[in-house]
């Protein structure tokens, strides 16, 4: 089974809703100029919550070849959870994807594998595709335990999910030491862990599920390194932070296949 590559721009806490519209317009123009083909790569923008409605209206109104998503969701349906956003609210905004378990949420909001698992399950139950983030810190990498650490996070995040659900979702391997540092993992580093994740999915489920699940690499991805990273057999896309805030740079990342 062939997996469609997926490039997702995680804007993190950047760009108000007006700037969000400007970026998406420029991204769409650049992609159109370069004859972007959605069959070659899926392009996703993930603004902060405050930008989603404007981005949705623009994508829908202008029939742009982009999908959009959110950076987090509540594991609860509704109720007294001040500051949280529910899956239903994101579905109403036509979100296709939702990031869960980003290392910044794990660190600053104390999200555990159990919480990540509950959020992924909630997203799937409402028809949203979770992008489940995993990855080791520098201490774990230095100890050579990156595979065991990351596979344990994947196992925790997928607990109780069906094979069909897992086949539909996205796992993003983001080594924390490579996020926003300019320190990109080598293509071989990315392949080592992404390959181990796919093997773990095969062991937890079956070969067909492992063949279907899409695995991204994230951490200082740029247009200058994306082609080498994407050449790895178990890397199906990238979760891009800083470089997704520049339309032309993110467009080049989406269009990686033209250079591959």
> Does residue number 209 form part of the binding site for ligand 13P (CB under 6 A)?
no
Beta carbons of 229 and 187 less than 8 angstroms apart = yes
> Does residue number 47 form part of the binding site for ligand 13P (CB under 6 A)?
no
Residue with tokens 């979100």: 95
- Residue 203 CB, shortest distance to ligand 13P, in Å, is 26
Stretch that binds ligand 13P, among 37-45, 106-114, 199-207, 236-244 (CB under 6 A): 236-244
Whichever of 165 and 174 has its CB closer to ligand 13P, that residue is 174
DSSP helix/strand/coil, 165: helix
H/E segment holding residue 44: strand 42-46
Active site residue 102: yes
Residues 6+ away with beta carbon under 8 Å from 70 = 46, 49, 52, 85, 90, 93, 95, 97, 98, 99
Site for ligand 13P in 125-184 (CB under 6 A): 174, 179-180
Catalytic residue among 102, 111, 136, 249: 102
> Within 131-233, where are the H helices?
138-142, 146-158, 163-168, 187-204, 207-212, 226-230
> Does residue number 239 form part of the binding site for ligand 13P (CB under 6 A)?
yes
Pick the binder of ligand 13P from 240, 247, 253, 254 (CB under 6 A): 240
DSSP helix/strand/coil, 238: strand
Please count the other Cβ atoms lying within 10 Å of the Cβ belonging to residue 144.
8
User: Which residue positions form the known binding site?
Assistant: 10-12, 180, 220, 241-242
Q: Which positions are catalytic?
A: 102, 174
User: Which residue positions form the known binding site for substrate?
Assistant: 10-12, 180, 220, 241-242
* Positions that interact with ligand 13P (CB under 6 A): 10, 102, 174, 179-180, 218-221, 239-243
């Amino acid at each position: 089974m062939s997996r469609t590559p997926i490039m997702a721009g995680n804007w993190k806490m950047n760009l108000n809703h007006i700037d969000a519209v400007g970026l998406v317009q420029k991204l769409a123009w650049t992609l159109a100029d370069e004859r972007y083909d959605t069959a070659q790569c899926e392009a996703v923008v993930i603004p902060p919550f405050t930008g989603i409605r404007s981005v949705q209206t623009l994508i829908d109104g202008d029939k742009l070849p982009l999908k959009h998503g959110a950076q987090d969701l509540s594991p609860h349906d509704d109720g007294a959870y001040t500051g949280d956003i529910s899956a239903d609210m994101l579905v109403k905004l036509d979100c296709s994807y939702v990031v869960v378990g980003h290392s910044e949420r794990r660190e600053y909001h104390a999200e555990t594998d159990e919480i990540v698992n509950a959020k992924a399950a909630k997203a799937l139950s409402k028809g949203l595709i979770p992008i489940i983030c995993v990855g080791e810190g520098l201490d774990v990498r230095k100890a050579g335990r990156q595979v065991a650490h990351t596979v344990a996070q994947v196992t925790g995040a997928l607990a109780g999910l069906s094979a069909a659900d897992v086949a539909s979702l996205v796992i993003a391997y983001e080594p924390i030491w490579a996020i926003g540092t300019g320190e990109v993992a080598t293509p071989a580093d990315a392949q080592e862990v992404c390959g181990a994740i796919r093997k773990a999915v095969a062991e937890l489920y079956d070969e067909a599920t492992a063949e279907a699940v899409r695995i991204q690499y994230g951490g200082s991805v740029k247009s200058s390194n994306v082609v080498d990273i994407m050449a790895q057999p178990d890397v199906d896309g990238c979760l891009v932070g800083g470089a997704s805030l520049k339309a032309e740079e993110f467009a080049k990342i989406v269009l990686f296949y033209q250079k591959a």
